[in-house]
Structure 1
Amino acid sequence: MKKEIILFTVAALTLSSCGIYTKYKPAAEVPEDLYGEEVAVSGSTDNLGNLGWREVFTDPHLRVLIEQGLQSNTDLRSAQWRVEEAEATLMSARLSFLPSFALAPQGTVSSFDGGKATQTYSVPVTASWELDIFGRMRNAKQQAKALLEQSHDYRQAVRTQLVSSIANVYYTLLMLDEQLAISERTQQSWKETVDATRALMDAGLANEAAVSQMEATYYSISTSILDLKEQINQTENSLSLLLAESPRSVERGKLEGQTLPDHLAVGIPVQMLANRPDVRSAEHSLESAFYATNQARSAFYPSIVLSGSAGWTNSAGSMIVNPGKFLATAIGSLTQPLFDRGANIARLKIAKAQQEEAKLSFRQALLNAGSEVNDALVKYQTARNKAGLFEKQIASLEKAYESTSLTMQYGNTTYLEVLTAQQSLLNAQLTQVANRFTEIQGVINLYQALGGGRE
């Protein structure tokens, strides 16, 4: 008996060294300069992504839309079902450690050469229990755990994407509303200019060409207004899809006065391992592949199964006894793979290759996350720097337009100069609004890139 215990201990230690029982070690480091050399990173863990979405998005209309999206969005609800599937898979893996029981009653009626019929019956309860000495079921359970965590991360990634998408579409609507208002004001102003030019023509101070050119520009502005209205309708439809509802008009505020956090802290890069759901998902995929490799290794070793049955029967070999007697049996079996060793080797190679693929995917997910943070920060900072320049440009263009308009009425400036000044002012105003949206979008993208919107 002592020899058997010693042999079992040596075998267990040997198998442990083969990697069957090893545990996955989570990543604790990230590439240097993950956010890029130009992004200043302090040692503080203060991070925009740690803020709740209500702290970032203060517009009451937007908050209502995000709440509705979190309740009804189809992708998010599908992600929840994926979590429940993974939970059931993990439960199945855990239950595989317990013995299985089954009731298997049997009965026969037989007669030989017209003789009296004999009846036999057996009412056994069968049991089977696999001993997980070589770690097959244990690694399967760990793999199921990793897949469950990955499903949680997937749901969180969908949630983060949903919050950011609703915010981006909402602010797109505010941008289009502001551009529409500017275009409509310009349309009205240009109509007055057309009327004034026609009056000058009647007084002999302008020609037909000037009036025609003014009218053509007026019609061009009018068509751009129709385009903006169409874009607003399409954007509202996109938002309705995110909310899983039919197309409708969206109640909203105005772009002017919108506030978002000014302190855009990115924290330390290693926080990406905990904050970004897609990065966590990639690591759990690597963890799952790690345990799949361990399972492939365990296939080289025997499986040990204990089985037995207990119940009542009236069949005692060649005799039939009534009433029936209690009968119990126990069997132990060991199955060692022999001729499928080549297949097991191939499966192990496949598992190792998939593990290396998962490792590369995890590293790429980290690099993608760092690049997204860099893009969002640069986008925000560039738009912020442009804002002051646009204000000065518009102020100058407004003066130029007023000056050319007055000069055309009372001097010798041509209508082409007025056209140019008015068109330049309109373009600058529309671009300024778009730049304000870009600034807001930079904050939203940075919030998402840092893993914001978590539960």
Structure 2
Amino acid sequence: MLKKTKYISIFLFASLSLTSCKSLQLVKREENKTVPEGFTSTEQNSKDTLNSASLKWKEFFTDAQLINLIDTALRNNQELNIILQEIEISKYEIGAKKGEYLPTVSGYVGAGVDKVSRYTRDGAVEATTDIIPGKEFPEPLQDYVVGVRAEWEVDIWKKLRNGKKAAVSRYLSSVSGKNFIVTHLVSEIASEYYELLALDKQLIRVNQNIDLQTNALRIVKQQKESAKVTELAVRRFEAQLYSTQSLRFEIEQSIVETENKINFLVGRFPQPVLRNASTFNDSITRVISDGLPSQLLDNRMDIKQAELELASNKLDVKIAKAQFYPSLGLSAGIGLQAFDPTFIVKNPESILFSLAGDLVAPLINRAGIKAQYYSANARQLQSIYEYEKTILTAYIEVRNQLSKIENLNKSYEFKAKEVDALNESIKISNTLFKSARADYLEILLTQEETIDAQFELIEIKKAQLNAMVNTYVALGGGWN
């Protein structure tokens, strides 16, 4: 009768669990991995598999000073080192999850003494039991035991194994996250380095213009002495010179701050950053091969991270669903026990062993388990949307940067012609001014326009270099 009741209970537990799971209605949605065939509308680009993201960052960059800075940052950057420790934490969590579905075996040794009261249940039983002389219980009663105990939850529904797989996915996700941080660290250092070169170039241009304006002021003073111009012209030329001299110190301050940004990224205290400003205009904007948009799924570390997070969240749904099913636990133990240390080695009388199994299913707190299940499913849907958003963001970033490179190249070409024309204008205006055929205001206006155009040309060059790096990063390069 007892055995029949036990089987009925097991059947009831299983039926309740399975019925509850079938009653759950969840929103299911598969992620969308489709991307356009190309980044542009031309058929040639849509079929070209050559991708600059396959280049290692040491191959992509050619400036030895920049390469040295990036290499130092990858060793010393504090944020990156923090991420590396998070990866170590994720790695150890895999071992913890793996241990959950393996049997646990523990050894134990114990000793104790027990004196029961005569007026208790155990004391009364001992007093009323017929005891053979010489075989009575010692008082107080000692207890010595040594043995081994094993426990194991049989992973019928793969709850524990899925937990380990989810931990592996999160570990790999953290590795991809680290690689994504590396990519942006490389990009940030390159951007600040090019900013520093641009500031150096601006400082050179400012110093050159200070020399030109100083010479122009000297000439206009001579013109005033010969009564060809008034004091107003002298003051206007002085004001222009003072403005340019003030600009020089602003640039010098920006250089200090940019150097210290780089020093922070490479994990060191403020010090001069080695570079060669003369290479700025000669820096080659590398031709970028964009490859196929589908390659973003493999090259972009943020996409890979989102994909692994999605995989782990899918496993979390399976784990939450398994909470409704009965869990089977097994336990066993074997050892030696006696009330006298001399008896503990006497076999088989001192041997003890146990073997038990239990089947447990939730009956009361099912609402809480349902809430966890729905929550896990909501996180899974959230990760699907995050994954699709990451893919869309990556594609748009590449498309924007490719367009930016093309338009900046055209802009640089015309701005360089403008600077050349203005430089010639300065020479012409100075010659005309000396022969009293041009007004001093024309010289001032030409000099101001030339400085502005020179600075704009430097900014465009810097933007070209940054666009090149940003495209490389957007395609998924920079972490290898």
Give the TM-score taking structure 1 as reference length: 0.90
CA contact (8 A) 2:285 2:464 kept: no
Say which is worse superposed, 187-196 or 26-35, in terms of deviation. 26-35
Give the counterpart of 1:291 among 305, 315, 327: 315
Partner of 2:473: 448
Map residues 113-128 of structure 1 onto 2, 5 A cutoff. 116-128=139-151
Secondary structure of residue in 1 paired with 2:150 = strand
Mapped pair 1:432 → 2:436: no
Partner of 1:30: 34
Mapped pair 1:261 → 2:286: yes
CA distance in 1, matches of 2:37, 2:397: 13
CA contact (8 A) 2:51 2:289 kept: yes
CA contact (8 A) 1:376 1:446 kept: yes
- Do the aligned partners of residues 172 and 313 (structure 1) sit closer, same or farther apart at CA in structure 2, a change above 3 Å counting? same
How far has the Cα of 1:256 moved from its partner? 2.5
CA contact (8 A) 2:33 2:388 kept: no
CA distance in 1, matches of 2:284, 2:413: 17
Say which is worse superposed, 336-345 or 117-126, in terms of deviation. 117-126
- Do the aligned partners of residues 410 and 112 (structure 1) sit closer, same or farther apart at CA in structure 2, a change above 3 Å counting? closer
1:95-152 superposed Cα distances (whole Å, 9 cap, x missing partner): 2221111223222213357984331111121110111001110210111111011011
Say which is worse superposed, 360-369 or 103-112, in terms of deviation. 103-112
The aligned amino acid for 2:149 is T
CA contact (8 A) 1:110 1:117 kept: yes
Partner of 1:201: 224
CA distance in 2, matches of 1:426, 1:111: 101
Secondary structure of residue in 1 paired with 2:276 = coil
How far has the Cα of 1:253 moved from its partner? 1.7
Secondary structure of residue in 2 paired with 1:308 = strand
Map residues 342-381 of structure 1 onto 2, 5 A cutoff. 342-381=367-406
Partner of 1:177: 200
1:357-409 superposed Cα distances (whole Å, 9 cap, x missing partner): 11000000011111111221122111111121012111221222222222122
- Do the aligned partners of residues 245 and 127 (structure 1) sit closer, same or farther apart at CA in structure 2, a change above 3 Å counting? same
Partner of 1:276: 300
Partner of 2:409: 384
Say which is worse superposed, 286-295 or 30-39, in terms of deviation. 30-39
Map residues 76-225 of structure 1 onto 2, 5 A cutoff. 76-111=80-115, 116-225=139-248
Structure of larger gyration radius: 2
CA distance in 2, matches of 1:77, 1:445: 23
How far has the Cα of 1:327 moved from its partner? 1.1
The aligned amino acid for 2:47 is G
Say which is worse superposed, 196-205 or 30-39, in terms of deviation. 30-39
Secondary structure of residue in 1 paired with 2:446 = helix
CA distance in 2, matches of 1:216, 1:39: 58
1:23-42 superposed Cα distances (whole Å, 9 cap, x missing partner): xx997833336746589733
Partner of 1:22: none
CA distance in 2, matches of 1:401, 1:140: 74
Secondary structure of residue in 1 paired with 2:396 = helix
Say which is worse superposed, 301-310 or 31-40, in terms of deviation. 31-40
Partner of 2:428: 403
Secondary structure of residue in 1 paired with 2:227 = coil
CA contact (8 A) 1:380 1:441 kept: no
- Stretches of structure 2 lacking an aligned partner (at least 5 in a row): 1-6, 23-28, 119-137
Partner of 1:68: 72
CA distance in 1, matches of 2:343, 2:451: 105
Give the counterpart of 1:57 among 49, 55, 61: 61
Say which is worse superposed, 199-208 or 40-49, in terms of deviation. 40-49
Secondary structure of residue in 2 paired with 1:104 = strand
CA distance in 2, matches of 1:111, 1:395: 107
1:411-434 superposed Cα distances (whole Å, 9 cap, x missing partner): 242211110011111111111111
The aligned amino acid for 2:289 is A
1:311-356 superposed Cα distances (whole Å, 9 cap, x missing partner): 110159xxx9565512111111111111121111111111111111
The aligned amino acid for 1:387 is Y
Say which is worse superposed, 202-211 or 371-380, in terms of deviation. 371-380
The aligned amino acid for 2:309 is S
1:250-306 superposed Cα distances (whole Å, 9 cap, x missing partner): 0102302222422x1111111111100011111111111101111111001011111
CA distance in 2, matches of 1:116, 1:137: 48
CA contact (8 A) 1:34 1:371 kept: no
RMSD: 2.6
CA contact (8 A) 1:178 1:433 kept: yes
Mapped pair 1:310 → 2:338: no
- Do the aligned partners of residues 36 and 361 (structure 1) sit closer, same or farther apart at CA in structure 2, a change above 3 Å counting? farther
CA distance in 1, matches of 2:315, 2:116: 58
Give the counterpart of 2:273 among 250, 269, 279: 250
- Do the aligned partners of residues 409 and 322 (structure 1) sit closer, same or farther apart at CA in structure 2, a change above 3 Å counting? closer
Give the TM-score taking structure 2 as reference length: 0.86
Give the counterpart of 1:419 among 424, 444, 449: 444
The aligned amino acid for 2:106 is A
CA contact (8 A) 2:141 2:339 kept: no
- Do the aligned partners of residues 266 and 154 (structure 1) sit closer, same or farther apart at CA in structure 2, a change above 3 Å counting? same
- Stretches of structure 1 lacking an aligned partner (at least 5 in a row): 19-24
Identical positions, percent: 26
CA distance in 1, matches of 2:193, 2:141: 82
Say which is worse superposed, 120-129 or 40-49, in terms of deviation. 40-49
CA distance in 1, matches of 2:116, 2:413: 107
The aligned amino acid for 1:389 is F
Partner of 2:47: 43
Instruction: Name the count of aligned residue pairs.
Output: 436
Say which is worse superposed, 100-109 or 293-302, in terms of deviation. 100-109
CA contact (8 A) 2:336 2:344 kept: no
